[in-house]
Amino acid sequence: MSEDVTLEILRYRSELDSEPHFQTYTVPYRDDWVVLDALNHIKDHVDATLSYRWSCHMAICGSCGMMINGEPKLACHAFLRDYRHDVIRIEPLDHFPIERDLVTVMDSFMEKLSSVKPYVIAKQKKALSDGENLQTPLQLMAFKQYTLCINCLLCYAACPQCGLNESFVGPAALALAHRYNLDSRDAGKEQRADVVASNEGIWECTFVGACSDVCPKHVDPAAAIQQTKISASLDWFKARLLPGAHR
């Protein structure tokens, strides 16, 4: 006898719906299926109008983030077997406008991400012929963890501050700023500080810690933000207290 699983999926099609509503689907249960497989089954065999983002099916691309029973998760990383005998309720990521069904509008994040200049700002222009910028394993270790971010935005959906204050730069962008600030090849800390050390930057964070709990790549953005708070505070004091310092 084959088993079934019931999925309640939040639907919103702006040309048809004035507001989102849940639609129930039944899919066959497979021990090795993740929620994304169930969504693909619906798309291919039940209802082709269902919209959602996905690409790699292996927790690398960061496209299939959604709320699964109220928790932000990658649909490719959430096995049906972990929700046995439950109705699985699937919604688009919290704290983002819904474009269509499970697809969210990510424009605000893209702007925040670019605002922290997430790239190496070199100390000095260097000709290609001068060779590569060398880095020791120790220097790499200082920031490697923060390079693992896949921009899946689960942290934004988990963070209550992101929901309560739209202008908060948010966990992933701040963790990436920290990643470049810690990079021995980088000299852009001061340029990033205008955004990072502002009220809408690190100081909007109240250390709920949910961003790190839900991160599928164990980036630990909460740690990055707290470390940036300490570093920004020290910079603030140094700029005012050290002899000859000026701002």
Distance CA 151, CA 60 (A): 10
Residue 28 in the binding site for another protein (CB under 8 A)? no
Q: How far is the CB of 207 from another protein (least distance, A)?
A: 7
CB-based burial, 190-221: b 16+ in 10 Å, e otherwise: eebbebbbeebbbebbeeebbbbebbbbebbb
Distance CA 56, CA 91 (A): 20
Candidate segments 41-49, 56-64, 227-235, 239-247, binder of another protein by CB under 8 A? 227-235
Candidate segments 27-35, 51-59, 171-179, 215-223, binder of another protein by CB under 8 A? 215-223
Residue 89 in the binding site for another protein (CB under 8 A)? no
Residue 130 in the binding site for another protein (CB under 8 A)? no
Q: What angle do CA 63, 39, 44 make, to 5 degrees?
A: 115
Residue 213 in the binding site for another protein (CB under 8 A)? yes
Q: How far is the CB of 76 from another protein (least distance, A)?
A: 23
Candidate segments 56-64, 97-105, 116-124, 176-184, binder of another protein by CB under 8 A? 97-105
Q: Categorise residue 80: left if φ over 0, alpha if ψ from -120 to 50, beta otherwise.
A: alpha
Residue 220 in the binding site for another protein (CB under 8 A)? yes
Q: How far is the CB of 96 from another protein (least distance, A)?
A: 9
Residue 217 in the binding site for another protein (CB under 8 A)? no
Distance CA 117, CA 180 (A): 9
Q: What angle do CA 108, 59, 155 make, to 5 degrees?
A: 40
How deeply is 97 buried, as exposed, middle or buried, from its count of CB atoms within 10 A (0-12, 13-18, 19+)?
A: exposed
What residues contact residue 141 under an 8 Å CB cut-off, 6+ apart?
none
Q: How far is the CB of 175 from another protein (least distance, A)?
A: 12
Candidates 105, 122, 239, 245; binder of another protein (CB under 8 A) is 105
Strand runs (DSSP E) across 76-155, as ranges? 88-91, 98-100, 103-104
Tell me whether residue 56 or residue 164 sits nearer to another protein (CB atom): 164
Q: CB of 27 within 8 A of CB of 42?
A: yes
Token pair for 12: 């919103």
Tell me whether residue 133 or residue 233 sits nearer to another protein (CB atom): 233
Residue 11 in the binding site for another protein (CB under 8 A)? no
Residue 61 in the binding site for another protein (CB under 8 A)? no
Tell me whether residue 40 or residue 104 sits nearer to another protein (CB atom): 104
Site for another protein in 135-194 (CB under 8 A): 138, 141, 160, 163-164
Question: Can you give the binding site for another protein, defined by CB under 8 A?
Answer: 12, 14-15, 19-20, 70-71, 94-95, 97-99, 105, 138, 141, 160, 163-164, 206-210, 212-213, 220, 222-223, 226-227, 229-230
